[in-house]
Amino acid sequence: MAVARTPCNVGAMVTSAPPVRYRHAPRVVGRRVHGKMVLVRLTTLEACELNELGGRVWELATSRSSEEITTLVARAVDRDAAEVGSDVERFLDELRRESWVVTS
């Protein structure tokens, strides 16, 4: 019985897309006020208040991937990255949907 073989590209380079990087949205500023991060959209003066940890996530969104942000947050709260990863991902997605951060 003959075995059919499909040609494969042995030695071909496999490339993956670069990680998505998060950064502060243009015309958005953030300041800590009494332990909370207050974000303000300069174009509309819309404001958003984040708790301590949410503020830290926003501060870390300086051209970092979600994996890098998760690692730094996990270290800050003395947890394993696997424990906080999905929460960080969800929060970053929410910040992106609300245009407080952008991706590149």
| 99 has a pLDDT exceeding 90 | yes
What sign has the CA pseudo-torsion 47, 53, 57, 60?
Answer: positive
* CATH number of the domain bearing residue 86: 3.90.930.60
User: Would you state the pLDDT for residue 24?
Assistant: 98
76: in domain: yes
78: in domain: yes
Query: For the chain, what is the domain count?
Result: 1
89: in domain: yes
User: Would you state the pLDDT for residue 35?
Assistant: 86
| Residue-number span of the structural domain to which 58 is assigned | 21-103
48: in domain: yes
Write the DSSP string, 46-88: EEEEE-HHHHHHHHH-EEEEHHHHHHHHHHHTT--HHHHHHHH
| pLDDT, average across residues 12-30 | 87
58: in domain: yes
61: in domain: yes
Q: Tens digit of pLDDT for each residue in 4-18?
A: 444 545 555 556 788
